[in-house]
Amino acid sequence: MSTANTEQRVALPMTVPAQAITAVPMPEAVTIYEVGPRDGLQNEKAVVPVEVKAEMITRLLDAGLPIIEATSFVHPRWVPQLADAAELMGLLVDRLGDAARRMPVLVPNEKGLDRALELGLEHVAVFGSSTETFAQKNLNRSYDEQFAMFSPTVRRARDAGMDVRGYLSMCFGDPWEGAVEIDAVVRAGVRLLEMGAGQLSLGDTIGVATAGHVQAMVAAFGAAGVGPERIAMHFHDTYGQALANTHAALQVGITTFDASAGGLGGCPYAKSATGNLATEDLLWMLQGLGIETGVDLDAVVATSTFMAGQLGRPSTSAVVRALSGA
């Protein structure tokens, strides 16, 4: 008779042991750029109360996340979920001071920048599209008009001493236009960098990227003189590829990854976009690879469990479910 039924099952490890197995050199440390409060909550059907947003952000800060994108200064009619941006940032600045002023906020134009400047914020992100159709749907501008809108915004933000990130959406595929040429993404990305963006975040808005495509993209930017230190990867997990894509990006020198606590997220103007790569899933893999982040995984899981309670549904993150017993 087999002993398998009678033996006590060995408890699964609740922390991940670090054992790097790859022959390819990996970075020693990675910066996680948390987008849950913005990319996550912008897509919720119900508007999350401002106090809950503030608590989520404060918990994420306490968990050690070095960069937390807090909200968007966009038109409230376009994203009603974030219509409380000024109230939220005012509240956070009162409570957290400089730590809140350093939190990036999305601004599409000079009007959004003015709102951020009024509050003394120090870090903004403009967000463009690699494709014509998404520029129109997300920004009500043509592909070229979006750059005309960003140019004075970025220049004034830089003159005011702000950090500026440039997002680019639909870098790996577009639900209306299909495949997106790598060269087109490089051209759009270089435009944002030449305008003055310090960092470029390449968005896989609808989660269709695969590992080889990611490495080819980084190589193409390299050939255009843009090294991996200027690029962040922004993966959505629609097709379950976000971690594989992250691993591929690590191998070619990317060290900044966008992620969303609990895997919240999507994009209100791209219906096929589902949640972002979950911060917890990313942390689990990075810890397993022995890569430093300075982030406390358990504290992020506790935040996502708190948010799951507020939103009335469990987190989609496999790691949150495994560690919280949900």
Write out the catalytic residue numbers: 267
Of 33, 127, 147, 284, which one interacts with ligand HMG (CB under 6 A)? 127
User: Which residue is nearest to Mg ion, using beta carbons?
Assistant: 39
Strands (E), 114-245: 123-129, 163-169, 199-204, 231-235
CA 44 to chain centre: 16
* Closest by Cα among 313, 314, 269, 270 to 74: 269
Q: Are 195 and 163 in contact (CB under 8 A)?
A: no
In three-state secondary structure terms, 26 is coil
- Chain position carrying tokens 């193409």: 220
Based on the number of CB atoms within 10 Å of its own CB, is 153 exposed (0-12), middle (13-18) or buried (19 or more)? buried
Assess 204 for contact with Mg ion (CB under 5 A).
no
> How far apart are CB 20 and ligand HMG at their closest, in Å?
29
Candidates 38-46, 142-150, 183-191, 214-222: pick the segment binding Mg ion (CB under 5 A).
Answer: 38-46
Q: Residues 30, 37, 73, 165: which binds ligand HMG (CB under 6 A)? A: 73
Contact 133, 99 (CB under 8 A): no
Contact call for residues 80 and 47 (beta carbons, < 8 A): yes
- Residue 306's binding partner among ligand HMG, Mg ion, none (Cβ under 5 to 8 angstroms by kind) is none
Per the CB < 8 A criterion, the answer to whether 103 and 92 are in contact is yes
Report if residue 39 touches Mg ion, rule: CB under 5 A. Answer: yes
Q: Which does 255 bind (CB under 5 to 8 A by kind): Mg ion, ligand HMG, none?
A: none
Q: Under the criterion CB under 6 A, does residue 166 sit at the interface with ligand HMG?
A: no
Using the rule CB under 6 A, give the single segment among 4-12, 68-76, 116-124, 314-322 that binds ligand HMG.
68-76
Does the footprint of ligand HMG cover residue 316 (CB under 6 A)? no
Q: Which stretch binds ligand HMG (CB under 6 A): 44-52, 73-81, 150-158, 312-320?
A: 73-81
Q: What are phi and psi of 79, to 5 degrees?
A: -135, 80
CA distance 13 to 319: 13
Name the minimum Å distance from CB 11 to ligand HMG: 38
d(CA 236, CA 65): 19
- Footprint (CB under 6 A) of ligand HMG, residues 78-117: 78-79, 106, 108-109, 111-112
The residues that touch ligand HMG, with contacts defined as CB under 6 A, are 39, 42, 72-75, 78-79, 106, 108-109, 111-112, 127, 138-140, 167, 169, 203, 205, 234, 267-269
The residues that touch Mg ion, with contacts defined as CB under 5 A, are 39
